[in-house]
Amino acid sequence: MQVCYEFQKRGQQSPLFIDVSVVEEEIKTLVNAAIAEDESLFLVDVIVKGNVGNQKVLIFIDGDNGLSIDQCSLVSRAVGNEIEDQDLMEGKYTLEVSSPGLDFPISLHRQYVKNIGRNLELETIAGEKIEGELIEVTESSILVKSKSERSFLLDEIKQSKVKVSFK
């Protein structure tokens, strides 16, 4: 995605083209380096949004055994220092490192594995919506039990989220 920002310099307006996806990919590389020593941690996504000089960098990481605030802090410091050293962001920015949270869609095989036994809200590419317990995960599919057990190929799934239960 290429974004065009307008800025003023000495009375002139000039377009500034920034390829946000390139910056996101560079930050993903920094995050992967920062979490490399802890094999239980994995990168879920990096999102850069906002206008040049006032951007927000959102880093979502997760862990096979959960994620602590201390782990987020370590990643935030390491990545923040590298962003500054490499001058990746133009002007001021805010850096947030967190787990994706329950309202964030599951996007990685590793997240499905982590959530075996939990209830999912699942939507297929064909538009079918299913709620059920995640029973099993293979390399290419998941098994969900609602009224009956059904298998879904991962590339047939448009979106799935962990369903919050207050029992």
Query: What is the residue extent of each domain of the chain?
Result: 2-98, 109-162
Contacts of 158 (CB under 8 A, 6+ apart): 123, 124, 125, 127
Which two structure tokens, joined as six digits, stand for 72? Answer: 């987020």
pLDDT above 90 as % of the chain: 77
What mean pLDDT do residues 151-156 have? 96
Same fold, 2-98 and 109-162: no
Which two structure tokens, joined as six digits, stand for 49? Answer: 């949004």
Nearest CA among 130, 124, 132 for reference residue 159 = 124
3 state DSSP class of 153: strand
Whether the CB-CB separation of 106 and 161 falls below 8 Å is answered with yes
Q: What is the pTM of this model?
A: 0.80
Nearest CA among 117, 114, 128 for reference residue 159 = 128
**Residue 66 DSSP one-character state:** B
- Is 109-162 a CATH 3.40.50.2000 domain? no
- Supply angle C-alpha 99, 47, 91, rounded to 5: 120
Task: Convert the pLDDT of each residue in 75-125 to its tens digit.
Answer: 999 999 999 999 999 889 999 999 998 889 998 999 999 999 999 999 999
| pLDDT for position 102 | 80
d(CA 60, CA 100): 5
Give the confidence band of 167 by pLDDT, cuts at 50, 70, 90: low
For domain 2-98, the CATH class is alpha beta
Judged against a pLDDT cut of 80, whether residue 7 lies above it is answered with no
Give the confidence band of 12 by pLDDT, cuts at 50, 70, 90: very low
